[in-house]
Structure 1
């Protein structure tokens, strides 16, 4: 006699208990910070912080605020601080309520030319 009835509890377990545990793996998002170099050098964005610390998922930002492909936001003419202040891009959350406002704590994101050069040197050292 076949024991198909034993599979039913396993299937139910997989969908009710295990499926929520199949969430996003640590390596499903870029592990290295993204450095925006336009419109100014350099603004840093860390997926790891936003996913693990802030609890955001990919769908929270992609594809409404940002395209999935790196660099596409920088190609937009309105990718600037005014757009952020108006609630676009990072400003959708960095509005002073959900997260610190775009016009506060500037050095949290803006690492400047010297910070960018320092990161580039570190990347070169670690790739050797």
Structure 2
């Protein structure tokens, strides 16, 4: 057997780690790319248990998963905000208005009537 067959493959552990960090900080789709690359590299490195790149690849995989989760949460929150804005929902409706010394409750029919009476230009 020659030494070439025993050499561990180069799976670009540093590149996977760098892409996962850049994806976490700058661009969400990079985390997906680095996660796919890390999964492929780990499957390759399973045949080489003493590989020196296993730590880099595993760190890149973990950071990619965290980045994907965060970017998905950000997208969901932004889509939800935009949807509420398009529907005309105003979260400040009735804010800073007191009725008989207590904060107005926009869910109460009486308080909504009072809010509309004191701020006629506002719409819900």
TM tier, smaller: under 0.3
Report the structure, 1 or 2, having the larger helix content.
2
TM value normalised by structure 1: 0.22
Larger-gyration structure (1/2): 2
